A and B are shown apart, each in its own frame.
Chain A
Amino acid sequence: MSVRTLASSKEKTFDGGPSPLAPKRRPFGVWFKDKGWRHVVGVVTTIFAVFPLLYVLSAALDSNGTLVGSNGLFSRFDTGNFVALFSDPTRPFGRWFVNTLVVGTVTSAATVFLGAMAAYAFSRMRFKGRRMGLLTLLLLQMFPQLLAVVAIFLLLSGISQVIPALGLGSQLGLIMVYLGGALGVNTYLMYGFFNTVPQSLDEAAKIDGASHVQIFFGIILRLVTPILAVVGLLAFIGISSEFVIASVVLTDPDSQTLAVGLYSYVAQQRSENWGVFAAGAVIAAIPVMALFLFLQKYIVSGLTAGSVKG
């Protein structure tokens, strides 16, 4: 992140400082060749990037409702769609929202915990098969769970016969399935971060009589909080968009998540329900986008750290 903050502070000095002196006398052509075209690119790209978001916002605020009616951007402002969204008993949007929060929160919390335990073992202990284990995790995460969606469906329908509370149609079952992907990427990510915490801290604590559990919860987890937060929030964002497995496991509208529920709004009649769908999309997207933008600097530093490593 240091690169970015450095860049932005320099930006300020250039903008506010010496720039008013020199460029004023520069002819337009020179300015355009040097910087102007960059603004043209920036504006065009920004329009491309932002337009669909404005479009869905405008459709959400126009209670006219249909797809055709949504074409006049921001021609009307009212909250009719949002009222309709929360008053349809066959499509309980409020429940979907809560379900998504519950499934996402439980899964990401458990993911962080399981991943941290595994990362602790890999980072702090030496045992037979450690290298092999890390390698296997690295390989397994190349195969996303959705590839085995058929088998997951049949496995859960088998579980339904024995323990209905964990089988098809249950959110608990869905959470269990998601936890199958809890190791993999996350462990690898955390493993790298755990390694940056000096071993001497553990050793010192051990000499003072701390048990491995106390070291794990009392020292390591506290020092790696940032990575725990990032992993947890990324897991949450990922799960809130997951459609394939959720759509197969959650059959009852009351138990569905936002991804499955909102799709059902437009699966059959895309045009008629457009306004209400747009309202739902806005509400569903706002928390995720807020989280993402809030986390932006962590995510960006993660991405760039990865890319410059070589």
Chain B
Amino acid sequence: MPKPDLRELPSSQGQAAPAEAVSSARRQAKPARPAKPARHPDSLKGTILKVVLLGLVDAFAVYVLMMLFLSQSWAALAVSSLVVLAINWIYLRKGGLPAKYLAPGVLFLLVFQVLVVVFSGYIAFTNYGDGHNSTKDDAISAIQLTAQKRVPDSPAYKASVLTKDNEFYLLFTDPAGKAQFGSSEDPLAEAPDAGKDSTGKANSLPGYQTLKFQEIVANQQEILKVTVPVSEDPADGTLRTADGSTAYQFKPALNYDAATDTFVDTETGTEYRDNGKGAFADANGETLATGWKIDVGMDNFVRAFTDPSLRGPLLGVILWTFTFSIASVALTFVMGLFLAMTFNREDLRGKKAYRILMILPYAFPAFLSGLVWSGILNPEFGWLNQTLLGGANIGWLTDPVLAKISVLVVNVWLGFPYMFLVCTGALQSLPSEIDEAARMDGASAWRVFRSIKLPLLLVSVAPLLISSFAFNFNNFNVIYMLTGGGPRFADTDRDIGATDILITLVYKVAFGQGTGRDYGLASALAIIIFIIVATISAISFKQTKALEDVN
């Protein structure tokens, strides 16, 4: 729903300017006075409040800094310390009043609006995503831990499940009757003081609680995940139990050789080498599932425009994004203007009722509108096909062309009330003399509209049309809720469809179901949107001279 245009509200800056000039003149005169002593001393109450508030902030800051120190995030620690120092400096020093009022808002703005954009820019140049989300060392131990096979003909250990502080531990009895004990974090260690039952199976340990059969069943999922490393070296393998009573030894199916930096499959002897793209690959290019994060330079951007499964659909999406936003603005504006002209008669009965009923779609939450319309337009069960068209089977949301039309219709439904309100306001502000003067000169109603009213109207409405365009360019809710971007393109295995716009594509690439998450590519696409939006707003700012307000 295009509601963001209220920034145009400040209509009063012109009037306020003289007052500003006066006050700044006054301020410039100020240094002549003995400035500091003349300042009003802060009241005691104010000082106490300030100290308490700053104290609370600092207490929280110290907590954060300690946590950062403990997690050894040195860069974050350094930056946070600087921020804390800056905050204290701003609020403790004399003077610098504007900063005191601006600091809180600016801090949030910097972190969650500016920093995240810079961060997006960084991610766009990495292969960050599923299977590439950590360092190479993490990837190597993860591969060793996940690619495990039961050691053939290895002995069966008897196992009991113990618990302490919500952590699960396994207590093993090897075939020789020796008790050993460990958890996912603690490698196997001897447990000489374990209690044993009549069969010689170790079943208790001081300080730990033994799980009963029902408890084992209830916690089966967590117990399955407990893998006790045999030693500190992951290559030695692990012990696991599937049923909570018998455990077997598992060994990595892939052996890591640190000297040559390769994984060797213990069965087939295939070698996997670091392929320079953040993964281990064999001679045929087959990669292991777990990789690590590396910088890939322009790779994501190159991939977006050369990868055959991505290039065609992406160009289609970019084209449709522009079509969608331009058509949405044009259609809503034409309809809004037409309605505004139609109802711009003071003596029309029921005008008020029409007006209220017509702006209802604008008041309805946008994310719900898409979902509700998806029910109406549903090809199989929807009201339009079933009731209005008597059981027709028209693919309103499944045919590529019809789906695009449906998306536009729904977006017009959402957006026309806004344009209606805007145009009504603009029309009413046009002086009525021009209308009369033109009529006197013999101009027809159409001629008056086309040559006089429309140009005047466009002057005042153009900035709103541009921000409406910028809004629709990223109108995620309508598309995602109505069609989810579908119907999917046939020429790609990715989840990209005929009604996808760039922002829904970003969301689906980064967080979509089915295909793996690819944060790098998603960020690269987001950066492309940034560039487009920046270009458009730069041009439009120049054209509309919106900046004059500030200057």
Whether A270 sits at the interface, judged by CB under 8 Å, is yes
Pick the contact of B109: A161, A182, A230 (CB < 8 A): A182
> Is the Cβ of B373 less than 8 Å from the Cβ of A52?
yes
Whether B62 sits at the interface, judged by CB under 8 Å, is no
> Is the Cβ of A309 less than 8 Å from the Cβ of B8?
yes
Which of A3, A49, A206 has its CB near the most chain B CB atoms (within 10 A)? A49
> Is the Cβ of B460 less than 8 Å from the Cβ of A308?
yes
Q: Mark B6-23, 1 if CB is under 8 A from A, else 0.
A: 111111110110011011
Which of B46, B112, B361, B418 has its CB near the most chain A CB atoms (within 10 A)? B112
Whether A98 sits at the interface, judged by CB under 8 Å, is no
Whether B325 sits at the interface, judged by CB under 8 Å, is no
Q: Mark B70-112, 1 if CB is under 8 A from A, else 0.
A: 0101001000000000000000000001100110111011011
- Enumerate chain B residues within 8 angstroms of A56, measured Cβ to Cβ: 368, 372, 375
Q: Mark A103-134, 1 if CB is under 8 A from B, else 0.
A: 00000000000110110110001110011011
- Enumerate chain B residues within 8 angstroms of A240, measured Cβ to Cβ: 365
Pick the contact of A114: B4, B105, B342 (CB < 8 A): B105
Pick the contact of B511: A39, A45, A66, A248 (CB < 8 A): A248
> Is the Cβ of B123 less than 8 Å from the Cβ of A154?
yes
A residues 137-174 in Cβ contact with B at 8 Å: 138-155, 158, 161-163
Given A240-B365, A308-B426, A138:B547 Cβ within 8 A: yes
> Is the Cβ of A140 less than 8 Å from the Cβ of B375?
no
Interface residues on B, range: 35 or more
- Enumerate chain A residues within 8 angstroms of B551, measured Cβ to Cβ: 131
Q: Mark B396-432, 1 if CB is under 8 A from A, else 0.
A: 0000000000000000010001100111111011000
Whether A55 sits at the interface, judged by CB under 8 Å, is yes
Whether A11 sits at the interface, judged by CB under 8 Å, is yes
Given A142-B533, A195-B16, A42:B342 Cβ within 8 A: yes
A residues 170-215 in Cβ contact with B at 8 Å: 176-177, 179-185, 187-189, 191-193, 195-196, 198-200, 203, 206, 209-213
Whether A266 sits at the interface, judged by CB under 8 Å, is yes
Whether A70 sits at the interface, judged by CB under 8 Å, is yes
> Is the Cβ of A155 less than 8 Å from the Cβ of B422?
no
> Is the Cβ of A243 less than 8 Å from the Cβ of B480?
yes
Q: Mark B363-385, 1 if CB is under 8 A from A, else 0.
A: 11111110111111010111100
Given A142-B534, A198-B19, A234-B3, A52:B369 Cβ within 8 A: yes
Given A142-B533, A182-B108, A121:B68 Cβ within 8 A: no
A residues 59-115 in Cβ contact with B at 8 Å: 59, 66-68, 70-73, 114-115
Smallest CB-CB separation from A231: which chain B residue? Answer: B6
Given A19-B347, A151-B120, A285:B381 Cβ within 8 A: no
Pick the contact of B425: A142, A189, A307 (CB < 8 A): A307
A309 nearest CB across to chain B (Å): 5
> Is the Cβ of B383 less than 8 Å from the Cβ of A70?
yes
B residues 259-296 in Cβ contact with A at 8 Å: none
B residues 343-368 in Cβ contact with A at 8 Å: 343, 345-352, 354, 356-368
Whether A228 sits at the interface, judged by CB under 8 Å, is no
Among all A-B residue pairs, the 7 with the closest Cβ atoms: A192-B10, A180-B112, A304-B425, A306-B8, A195-B16, A292-B363, A114-B105
